Structure 1
C-alpha cells in the first residue's frame, strides 16, 4: 500500500501563511517550508497508514529496503518540499555531492522548482554575471550584488532546474514545489542585511560559496517534454542523474505504471482517489505519499494534478 506521510513544517524568516491553502494546520505565522516527503534527519515524515503507521520514513528505509527496490544508497535520496516565500529568500548556493560529502557529510543539493503560484512581476535569482573566478571573488568581496545576480520573471506553471553550484533565490510572493536531493546544506551569499526575531543577522558562507559556485550555470535550462507511457500522457519536467520529475494531469481515470520500483507523489490540485491492488484511498490537494515496490496495479480516478519524482 502507498505510504501516506504527515508533513513536517519549518519556521523561516521569509515564510508566511499560504500553506493553509493546501489544507495544512500550520504551526507558525511565518511557516516557510512543508517537508512533504522526507527521510532527512532534520525533518523525517511520520507514516499515517498501514503496517508502518507511526514509523518515520527513514526508519522504514533502514528496516525494509525491499520496499524501495533494494536501493543500496546510504540514505533516502530525495526530498519534496512546498515553500511559501512571503518574503524573498537569501541568495544562496548548494554544493555538489563530492564537496558536500567531504565537508558536510551528506548529499549535495541539486534541486528543481515547479511554480505553484506567483504574484504579478514576481522574480527569482538564477545564475551570476561573472565570467571567471577572479571576477566572481572580487564582486562578492566588494558586495557588488546588484551587478552579480541574474534575475528572471516567473509565473504560475513555470519550471526551473537548479543544479548544484547554481546561485539562486526564490523571490517574494512565490510558492513552489521543490524536488531536491535529500540534503540540508545551504551556503548563503547575501541575506539583505535582515535580522531574525532575536535581532541577529543570519550567517553568510562567502568562502564556501566561492568554492562551489559553477560559473557555467547562468540561465535556466529546463526543457519539459510531453511524453506517453502505456498510452497515458504526461509532462516530463526534467530527467537528470539525480532525479526525474513528471507532471500528471488526471481527468477521470489513469492507469499508472510506476516508472521505477518506488516513486514519490504529491497532489497539487484537485481531488479523487488512488486504487492500489484493489484497495481505494481518497486523495486531495496537499497529500503526499510514496508508491513502493509492493504497489503494482495503480489507478488514479478523479480530477487531479500531481508531481511524480523518482531516481
Structure 2
C-alpha cells in the first residue's frame, strides 16, 4: 500500500522571478524562475510522483483513476495547489475571483490562498488590501493612477502568515519568498503592473481592469486567524488557518526537534519541508526527508512519525 507520495516540482519562469529557489536543492532551469509548483493537479502544471507504485504518474491522473488514495473524494479536481514563490522583483497588483465568478468566466476554481513568509529582505512589505470605500471611488483611483493612496502596504518579516481570500487586492513585492497554499486555480486578474515592459515581447503585460473591478471586495476586508500553538517536547506545531476562517484548507507550521507522532484527521495531508532534515516513518517503512521535498500522506496512512530537526508546512483540504 502506497502511504506516501513524493512529488517532482514544476518550475515556472516569471518576469519577476530569479534563481533563489536553488537554495532548496533544486536543479533550476536557466532564466527568471519565479514559481515552484510543488504539489499540483492543475492542468497548467501537474506534478509527477517520484516514488513507489505510482512513479511517473501525475497527481491529476491519480485523482481520476485512484480515488482510494484521497479517501474517495466527490470533487471533480484535486482542490489544492502548493507553491513556493521567489519575488526577485515585485509581482503585479492583482486580485482573484471566487468560485462562482471563476466558473462562469474562466472555467476554473476561484482562488483563495495564503502565504507563509519563508524569507524577506530588510524593509520588505506586501500590498494587502486597499483604502477605497465604494466601487466608484476604487475605479476612479485606479484610472487616475493614485496607487500610493489606494493600496495598503504591510511590512513583512520571515515567519509572518497572511490569509488571502478571493477578492483581496494583493501583491508580493521585491525581496519576499513565500510558501503559498491555495485553491487549485491559475486565474489572476492584473490591476496594475508598474508599467513594466516584458523584455521578451517588448510590450506591457495585459491588465484585466473590468474583471478586477467586478471581483474586488469593496470596502476591503482582511480576516486573519490567531495562530494556535501546541508544544510537544522541544517541537512546536502551529495551526495558521483553519475552518471557519478558511473554508477550503487548514494550514499548519511544524518546527520539529526530536520526534513527533501524528494521526490522520483528514483523508490526505500535504507536507513541504522548508528547512532541515529527518525521517518520516509509517508502519515499518522509513523515508529520509529534507529541505525542498514535498509529499502527500495518502488515505492509507493512519499514523506516522516525523523525527529530526526540520521545519515544515502541512495542509489539508476541507
**Fold shared, TM-score > 0.5 on shorter chain:** yes
For residues 310 and 228 of structure 1, the distance between their equivalents in structure 2, rounded to whole angstroms, comes to 20
- Choose the corresponding residue for 2:205, options 196, 202, 206: 202
Q: CA deviation at 1:147?
A: 0.9
Q: CA deviation at 1:149?
A: 0.6
* Maintained 8 Å contact 2:85/2:178: yes
Moved more, 232-241 or 125-134: 232-241
- Could you tell me which residue of structure 1 aligns to residue 274 of structure 2? 268
Q: CA deviation at 1:29?
A: 2.7
RMSD between aligned residues: 1.3
Q: CA deviation at 1:250?
A: 1.4
User: C-alpha offsets along residues 44-100 of structure 1, whole Å, 9 cap, x if unaligned?
Assistant: 001000110000010111101111011111100000000000000000000001110
For residues 6 and 266 of structure 2, the distance between their equivalents in structure 1, rounded to whole angstroms, comes to 18
What pairs with 1:123-134 in structure 2 (closer than 5 Å)?
A: 123-134=125-136
Return closer, same or farther for 1:260/1:216 CA change in 2, 3 Å cut-off: farther
Moved more, 215-224 or 160-169: 215-224
* Maintained 8 Å contact 1:126/1:220: no
Return closer, same or farther for 1:245/1:163 CA change in 2, 3 Å cut-off: same
Q: CA deviation at 1:198?
A: 2.1
For residues 148 and 192 of structure 2, the distance between their equivalents in structure 1, rounded to whole angstroms, comes to 11
- Choose the corresponding residue for 1:21, options 19, 23, 30: 23
* Maintained 8 Å contact 2:131/2:219: no
* Maintained 8 Å contact 1:126/1:218: no
- Choose the corresponding residue for 1:87, options 76, 86, 89: 89
Residue 247 of structure 1 pairs with residue 262 of structure 2:
no
Residue 101 of structure 1 pairs with residue 103 of structure 2:
yes
Q: Secondary structure at the match of 2:287?
A: strand
Residue 309 of structure 1 pairs with residue 315 of structure 2:
yes
Give ranges in structure 2 of 5+ residues lacking alignment.
none
User: C-alpha offsets along residues 146-189 of structure 1, whole Å, 9 cap, x if unaligned?
Assistant: 21111000000000000000000001001000000000000000
Q: Secondary structure at the match of 1:146?
A: helix
- Could you tell me which residue of structure 2 aligns to residue 225 of structure 1? 228
* Maintained 8 Å contact 1:128/1:218: no
What pairs with 1:139-288 in structure 2 (closer than 5 Å)?
A: 139-196=141-198, 197-219=200-222, 221-227=224-230, 234-239=237-242, 240-288=246-294
Q: Secondary structure at the match of 1:138?
A: helix
- Could you tell me which residue of structure 2 aligns to residue 294 of structure 1? 300
* Maintained 8 Å contact 2:132/2:220: no
Q: Secondary structure at the match of 1:140?
A: helix
- Could you tell me which residue of structure 1 aligns to residue 66 of structure 2? 64
What TM-score comes out, normalization by structure 2 length? Answer: 0.94
Give ranges in structure 1 of 5+ residues lacking alignment.
none
For residues 38 and 49 of structure 2, the distance between their equivalents in structure 1, rounded to whole angstroms, comes to 11
For residues 176 and 186 of structure 1, the distance between their equivalents in structure 2, rounded to whole angstroms, comes to 18
